[in-house]
Amino acid sequence: MEKRENEKLEEKSENENEKVEGKTRVICVPPVGRCSSFLCSEAKPDAEQFQGALRELKDLRSQLHQAADYCENAFLKEEKKKMILDSTKSYICDAIVAVIDHLGTVSSKLELELCNVAKATQTEQKMDFLRQRLLMCQQFAVTAELATFRYREKLMHHHPQYLSDGQILKKYDSSSRVVEGSRQIKDSHGKEKFGLSGRFQHVETGTEHVMILPGQHGQPILVTPSFGLKGTHNIGGDDKKKMQHNFLAFLSKNRKKSR
Amino acid sequence: MARAGGISNPVNVGIAVQADWENREFISNISLNVRRLFEFLLQFEATTKSKLASLNEKLDVLERKLEVLEVQVSSATTNPSVFN
């Protein structure tokens, strides 16, 4: 198709040359070339095709400039202006068609280039895989560390040194929540130890949970979850010495644990 | 003869005017098509710019992710005791 069109243009120019009398030539401008990148598009990669199409468009621009200069000079110099005008008109029509064709190929090649972002998505996927693997390794390391941190050979024991009377403790202000409860303090055998059964209060002050036990002489005893006694108590009777001994032992144990 | 010459003059003038009008029509058609070409080029430029900008953003994000991964891998390689 392109060859036939080129041949037609050549024949036309030759006919026009024959018609003109004298030494002058009407149009000796080479015919407008059509885009040839379509023929070998499969062989070249996309980037080269786009570059080739762009190069052809630039060559066409220079060709059109030369043709315009030649037509202008010929129209001014020659006498048969009508012939020159008709040939120029036909050349303009062909040139516009050629320009549109070239622009279409360039734009299509560029769109193909922009749409082929498969490489970017592939690299994105690979990076996501790497990140996932790293996160898994980090999680594994964290869980391993936590396992060593949490495991303790010596578990915490509940000590039966809680003392309680039938005394009711004072209520605290509204800033701390007070939960009243009653519990019978028993030893490991399930018997009631020291004949004690009383009330205790569980207070939340800020972030710390503290248990308050009533003492003998109205002094409350604060007990932390680590079962460290924070107050002193006075107990009358034979159990006093035993309780003090147990209390001291309990304190020493807590100190060792905290170290 | 004079009349023939006088008659031919307006005919020639008419022909010349008609030819002139044809030329003007041709020129207007050509200029219209050239303007359409120009508009297409502007539109094409805008769409291509936006596509290139989005592609650039994607590449920037990928580069940052890659840098983060490099740092993480280097820290993991320098502290192998974490995984022992």
> Least CA distance to B68: which residue of chain A?
A131
DSSP track, A109-174: HHHHHHH--HHHHHHHHHHHHHHHHHHHHHHHHHHHHHHHHH--SS-----S-----SPPPPPPPT
Rounded to whole angstroms, the Cα distance separating A43 from B78 reads 48
Confidence band for A131, pLDDT divided at 50, 70 and 90: confident
Residue bearing the bigger pLDDT, A27 or A92: A92
Q: Inspect the interface and report whether the beta carbons of A114 and B48 lie closer than 8 Å.
A: yes
Quick check: A131 contacting B, CB < 8 Å? yes
Q: How far is A138 from chain B (nearest CA, A)?
A: 9
Across the interface, which of B30, B59, B83 has its CB nearest the CB of A141?
B83
Q: How far is B4 from chain A (nearest CA, A)?
A: 25
Confidence band for A111, pLDDT divided at 50, 70 and 90: confident
Q: Inspect the interface and report whether the beta carbons of A131 and B33 lie closer than 8 Å.
A: no
The answer to whether B41 touches A103, Cβ cutoff 8 Å, is yes
The answer to whether A35 touches A101, Cβ cutoff 8 Å, is yes
If you average pLDDT over residues A118-126, what whole number do you get? 82
Q: Inspect the interface and report whether the beta carbons of B69 and A131 lie closer than 8 Å.
A: yes
Tokens of B42: 């502007």
Taking only the tens place, the pLDDT of each residue in A160-174 is: 676 555 444 444 444
> Between the CA atoms of A185, A187, A189 and A190, what dihedral angle is there, to the nearest 10 degrees?
0
Residues in B 8-27 with any Cβ partner in A closer than 8 A = 23, 26
Q: If we measure between CA atoms, which residue out of A171, A174, A229, A175 comes closest to residue A201?
A: A171
Q: Inspect the interface and report whether the beta carbons of B26 and A130 lie closer than 8 Å.
A: no
Phi and psi torsions of A229, nearest 5°? -75, 135
Quick check: A89 contacting B, CB < 8 Å? yes
CA A46, A47, A50, A53 dihedral sign is: negative
Q: Which residues of chain B have pLDDT under 70?
A: 1-7, 80-84
Q: How far is A236 from chain B (nearest CA, A)?
A: 57
| Most B-contacting residue of A106, A123, A128, A146 (CB-CB within 10 A), to test interface | A123
- pLDDT reported for residue A123: 83
Length of chain B equals 84
Cα within 13 Å of Cα(A237), Cβ side: 7
Quick check: A124 contacting B, CB < 8 Å? yes
Identify the bridge partners of residue A220 per DSSP, sorted by sequence position: A214
- pLDDT reported for residue A175: 43
The answer to whether A167 touches A198, Cβ cutoff 8 Å, is yes
Across the interface, which of A96, A99, A117 has its CB nearest the CB of B55?
A117
Query: Collapsing DSSP states into helix, strand and coil, what is residue A76?
Result: helix
Rounded to whole angstroms, the Cα distance separating A24 from A77 reads 9
Across the interface, which of B37, B51, B62 has its CB nearest the CB of A114?
B51
Rounded to whole angstroms, the Cα distance separating A120 from A78 reads 61
Q: If we measure between CA atoms, which residue out of A31, A38, A42 comes closest to residue A66?
A: A31
Across the interface, which of B44, B65, B69 has its CB nearest the CB of A107?
B44
DSSP track, A10-53: HHHHHHHHHHS-SS--S--PPPPPPP-TTTTTTTS-HHHHHHHH
Q: Inspect the interface and report whether the beta carbons of B26 and A89 lie closer than 8 Å.
A: yes
The answer to whether A205 touches A176, Cβ cutoff 8 Å, is yes
Q: Kindly list the strands in the beta sheet with A208-214, ordered across the sheet, starting from the edge strand earlier in the chain.
A: A177-186, A192-205, A208-214, A220-223
Please determine, for the modelled complex, whether the ipTM score is greater than 0.95: no
Residue A176: is its pLDDT beyond 80? no
The answer to whether A230 touches A221, Cβ cutoff 8 Å, is yes
Rounded to whole angstroms, the Cα distance separating B56 from A150 reads 48
Residue A191: is its pLDDT beyond 50? no
Across the interface, which of B62, B66, B82 has its CB nearest the CB of A141?
B82
Question: What is the residue-averaged pLDDT of chain A?
Answer: 65
Across the interface, which of A96, A110, A134 has its CB nearest the CB of B72?
A134
